[in-house]
Structure 1
Amino acid sequence: MSKSTQANLEMDAQAEFDALRQRAAALGVIPQQIAMAPDGRVRMAVLDYARFAGDLPPAGYISLGLCTRSIAPISRQSRQGTLSGVLRPGSVILSPPDEGATVRWDRCRMIAIGIDPEGLDERLNLADSRRLLSSAALRIHRDPLLTAIMTALWHESAVNGLSGDFFDHCIGRVFSRLGELAGDPPTRRRDRPLTAAQVIKVKEFIATHLEEGAGVAAMAALVGRDPASFSRAFRDATGLPPHQFLTNARMAQAEALLRDGMSVTATATAVGYTNPSKFSAAYQRYRGTKPSRCRQT
């Protein structure tokens, strides 16, 4: 990616960040934490909601909310229909990107995820996400799997940031689950599988690009595929999505370097982490021990 392209993405992300804060302030919502993908395509936040009644303008992005604190009555009336009920910790609600509504809610805390709808069906390999959004927006979902996925997304963002590949995989699972709960699983297209030679080629590429970080787009280009279909085909071939395969390779290499006596900071850099603290957290999560202890042994 060129420096000018990177700068433009950062400017777009900052504009999205500012718009999110302005929208929250207009609704009496206080953001406690905000995370934003570099391209602004995905944003996440922990939001404290005060009591509110009034008009909610369209957000321009798909909004998923997980209630994490308080029991709060909520109602939302739009041209699609009416949602009315009570939010409890673990409840999940959804709002389509282009739909305003008249709303009323009580005090609560939410983990909110905003997803750019542009190209969503292609990214997630869905046939018609819009129909699914319309039906899912009229229910309060109380489902342990949805709760677990959204909680995992937030915790993962604190360690590795908002990875497009990881988020597309998890958001795809959210949509699949919403479809299952509605008795109408979203239709998926069939991807062309990767050949054995292509899988080997990608694995070798990952192994030789741990320090700079082998992006999914680069992996896909290596075998002449678009990132979305490549990610699905790679997962079908290896059992792991590309981001997880890359992380596993980084952790395996890190363990070898630490056992050879390399410092934690140098090891973090060698396997593509610019922040030693994030590396240590990721290493402990994947290996079950701190990198410093691995080095001592």
Structure 2
Amino acid sequence: MIHTDWTNESYQFEQRVAKRAFGPSEHFSDRDGSTLLTVATLNAFEGEYEVAPYLMLTLCLGKAGRFLRSGDWGKVGGTFRSGTQALALPGTRAVGFSPKARLLGINISPERAQAALADVGGLEAMVPAAGCLGDDPLIGSVMTALWRDAQVHGLSTAFLDHGLDLILRRFVEIDRPLPSASGRRVKPLSARELQRAVELIDSRIGLDLKVMDIAGELDRDVRSLTRAFRAATGYAPYEYLTFRRMERAKELLGTAETVMEIALQVGYSNPAKFAAAFRRFCGCSPSEWRGRR
């Protein structure tokens, strides 16, 4: 495993912001530099975006103008105005342009984000959100509250952990629009493509299956696969995988196998994560489901 020096990364990020900033900026960092909060007015930009190791969440606080980011995860464009939110996945390359704007940014280490979203697919669950601009009031208000809290207490409170978890899950839960950036409706997977995807999911129900594996099976990129799969089924690929795992778990709960054994068979090495996913999909714990049967 590659060890990232987050203290150095946070310093490098502040230096990059300083080069584009107009006027004073605010910077807050937790003890090891794995979570950053920055407020700055950045000058207009056009060219290649910096590749950062962080998951980057951005909230526009003021000004308006056209925005474009085209790269590894597809093309994201629109108007950046007060309340607009954008998300960039770690380690992704992109080119484009952005207007002069006052921005609130929260950078989170991939490990921190992965842990918060482990039961819904980890960072891969953020792919749909990275594919479009957002304006969710809850995300905007929580990001602003974290900024105000940091001004008083820094990035070292339980409110920070709770707020970050809430924001990350909200990005995953929001029902993203199906139309493409060009305005055309997304074409669903064909019957044959859907069959191949479902067969792959069912054959690897207890293994470490990633969305990129399904995309590779259908010779698609992750973003187009996610949108076409949702258009065909109403689920994002990882949501459907979790649904199938929970359906299999319900079958196994009718046997004498322990909850731990069932968790392993449907792809969870951590029974607590399995129980959380089961409760989210079925409305009760695995043990309660077994008791009702």
Could you tell me how far 1:24 is from its partner in structure 2? 2.0
Could you tell me how far 1:13 is from its partner in structure 2? 6.2
Contact 2:7 2:32 (8 Å CA) reproduced: no
TM-superposition CA deviations, 1:60-94 (whole Å, max 9, x none): 00000110011121000012110010011111110
Which residue is 1:175 aligned to? 168
Contact 1:124 1:168 (8 Å CA) reproduced: no
Which residue is 1:277 aligned to? none
Query: For 2:143 and 2:116, how far apart are their aligned partners in 1?
Result: 19
Query: For 2:154 and 2:112, how far apart are their aligned partners in 1?
Result: 22
Residue type of the alignment partner of 2:43? A
Tell me the secondary structure at the aligned position of residue 159 of structure 1: helix
TM-score (norm 1): 0.55
Could you tell me how far 1:25 is from its partner in structure 2? 4.2
Alignment of 1:181-196 (within 5 A): 181-182=174-175
Unaligned runs of 5+ in 2: 177-234, 243-271, 277-293
Alignment of 1:80-99 (within 5 A): 80-99=73-92
Alignment of 1:1-297 (within 5 A): 14-25=7-18, 28-30=20-22, 32-163=25-156, 165-182=158-175
Contact 2:84 2:135 (8 Å CA) reproduced: yes
30-39 vs 175-184, which moves further: 175-184
Using a 3 Å threshold, how does the CA distance of structure 1 residues 76 and 170 change in structure 2: closer, same or farther? same
Contact 1:35 1:157 (8 Å CA) reproduced: yes
Using a 3 Å threshold, how does the CA distance of structure 1 residues 14 and 146 change in structure 2: closer, same or farther? same
Could you tell me how far 1:119 is from its partner in structure 2? 4.7
Could you tell me how far 1:122 is from its partner in structure 2? 2.4
Could you tell me how far 1:165 is from its partner in structure 2? 3.9
The percentage of counterpart residues that share the same residue type is 28
Count the aligned residue pairs.
182
TM-superposition CA deviations, 1:262-295 (whole Å, max 9, x none): xxxxxxxxxxxxxxxxxxxxxxxxxxxxxxxxxx
Which residue is 1:198 aligned to? none
Unaligned runs of 5+ in 1: 1-11, 189-227, 233-297
Could you tell me how far 1:177 is from its partner in structure 2? 1.4
Query: For 1:62 and 1:72, how far apart are their aligned partners in 2?
Result: 23
Could you tell me how far 1:39 is from its partner in structure 2? 1.3
Query: For 1:98 and 1:13, how far apart are their aligned partners in 2?
Result: 14
Root mean square deviation, CA, Å:
2.9
Tell me the secondary structure at the aligned position of residue 119 of structure 2: coil
117-126 vs 92-101, which moves further: 117-126
Residue type of the alignment partner of 1:182? D
TM-score (norm 2): 0.55
Residue type of the alignment partner of 1:162? L
